[in-house]
Amino acid sequence: MKAESVLIIGVGTAYRNDDASGLIVAERLRQRLPEGASVITHEGEGVSLMEQLAVSDAAVVIDAMCSGAEAGTIRRFDAIAQTLPAQVFRHSTHAFGIAQAIELGRALGKLPRRLIVYGIEGGNFEAGTQLSPAVEASIETVTRRVLEETEQALGERPGESM
């Protein structure tokens, strides 16, 4: 089923090095999105993130992750089909981060019909504004993938899905 609108949410903190990766993807998408798509940046506070998701038809969230994989590793999660692993997105500056927001939204029946989460493995979450080279290289890949998924969702034919 074709999505009427797609919300892209770039999550992160601009002053924690690789934690800014989701924000940077969102900014790169801002001028490239098709009609029917919008983009916001978010610091990852769970309650307001859940509220944004609750009013969306379809959403893509991009955030830094810390799973122990090599910096720059990209993971894609279908958060409607599977539970988001909370331990992977544990670098939130808030106790209630994106994994908890999604699970609470699921419990309350307030998730969009489609919800994709992209995680970019960070290597450095200390204070600063310098991305790791591997994270910088992954940002363009994620930007391209999110744009492709958004275009597909907005122009989808029956039987296809985001």
Please tell me what DSSP assigns to residue 53. Answer: H
Domain that residue 50 falls in? 6-154
**Residue 140 resides in a domain:** yes
Q: Which has more pLDDT, 95 or 67?
A: 67
Which pLDDT score, from 0 to 100, does residue 90 have?
Answer: 59
**Residue 130 resides in a domain:** yes
pLDDT range class, residue 95, cuts 50, 70, 90? low
Contact, 13 vs 122, CB < 8 A? no
**Residue 14 resides in a domain:** yes
Count the domains in the chain.
1
Which pLDDT score, from 0 to 100, does residue 157 have?
Answer: 40
Contact, 122 vs 91, CB < 8 A? yes
**Residue 161 resides in a domain:** no
Q: Are strands 6-11 and 114-121 parallel, antiparallel or unpaired?
A: unpaired
pLDDT range class, residue 87, cuts 50, 70, 90? confident
Contact, 151 vs 39, CB < 8 A? no
**Residue 162 resides in a domain:** no
Q: What is the pTM assigned to this prediction?
A: 0.89
Please tell me what DSSP assigns to residue 100. Answer: H
Average pLDDT, the chain: 87
Q: Which has more pLDDT, 1 or 52?
A: 52
**Residue 59 resides in a domain:** yes
pLDDT range class, residue 50, cuts 50, 70, 90? confident
Q: How far is CA 25 from CA 40, 103, 156, in A?
A: 11, 24, 23
Work out the average pLDDT over 18-45.
92
Q: What is the pLDDT of residues 104-140, one digit of tens each?
A: 899 999 999 999 999 999 999 999 999 999 999 999 9
Work out the average pLDDT over 49-59.
88
Which pLDDT score, from 0 to 100, does residue 159 have?
Answer: 43
Q: How far is CA 68 from CA 16, 55, 82, 100, in A?
A: 18, 33, 20, 20
Which amino acid, residue 122?
Answer: G
Is pLDDT at 35 greater than 60 in this prediction? yes
**Residue 127 resides in a domain:** yes
CATH of the domain at 42: 3.40.50.1450
**Residue 55 resides in a domain:** yes
Chain centroid, CA 114 distance in Å: 12
